[in-house]
Amino acid sequence: MKHIISLLMENEAGALSRVAGLFSARAYNIESLTVAPTEDATLSRMTIVTSGSDEVIEQIIKQLNKLVDVVKVLDLNDGRYIERELMLVKVKATGALREEMKRISDIFRGRIIDVADGSYTIELTGSGSKLDAFIEALDKTVILETVRTGASGIGRGDRILKV
Partner 1 sequence: MDDSNQQKVSQISGAEIIMRCLQEENVKFVFGYPGGAVLHIYDALFKQNHFKHILVRHEQAAVHAADAFSRATGEVGVALVTSGPGATNAVTGIATAYMDSIPMVVISGQVPTAAIGMDAFQEVDMVGVTRPCVKHNFLIKDVRDIAITLKKAFYIAASGRPGPVVVDIPKDITAEFAEFDYPKTIEMRSYTPVVKGHSGQIKKAVKILLEAKRPMVYAGGGLVLGDASNELVKLARALGYPVTNTLMGLGGYPATDKQYLGMLGMHGTYEANNAMQDCDVLLAVGARFDDRVIGNPDHFLSVPRTIIHIDVDPSSISKRVKVDVPIVGHVQSVLAEMNEVLAAETIKPDAAALKTWWAKIDVWRAKKSASYDGSSSTIIKPQYVIEKLCEVTKGDAFVTSDVGQHQMWAAQYYKFDKPRRWINSGGLGTMGVGLPYAMGCQLAFPDAQVACVTGEGSIQMNIQELSTCKQFHLPIKVILLNNRYLGMVRQWQEFFYENRYSESYMDSLPDFVKLAESYGLIGMNIDKPGDVEGALQDAFAMKDKFVFMNFMTDQKENVFPMVPNGKGISEMILGSDTNANDAADEMEG
Question: Is 86:125 a contact under the CB 8 Å cutoff?
Answer: yes
Q: Which of 57, 56, 21, 16 is nearest to 36 (CA)?
A: 16
Which of 68, 96, 116, 160 contacts partner 1 by CB under 8 A? 68
* Rounded distance between C-alpha atoms, residue 10 and residue 42, angstroms: 6
69 touching partner 1, by CB under 8 A? yes
Question: Is 126:135 a contact under the CB 8 Å cutoff?
Answer: no
Question: Per-residue contact track with partner 1, 100 to 139, x per CB under 8 A?
Answer: ----------------------------------------
Which residue stretch of 33-41, 62-70, 93-101, 112-120 sits at the interface with partner 1 (rule: CB under 8 A)? 62-70
Binders of partner 1: how many residues, by CB under 8 A?
A: 20
Q: Shortest approach of partner 1 to residue 63 CB, angstroms?
A: 5
Beta carbon nearer to partner 1, 22 or 154: 22
Question: Per-residue contact track with partner 1, 32 to 61, x per CB under 8 A?
Answer: -----------------------x--xx--
21 touching partner 1, by CB under 8 A? yes
63 touching partner 1, by CB under 8 A? yes
* Rounded distance between C-alpha atoms, residue 90 and residue 138, angstroms: 11
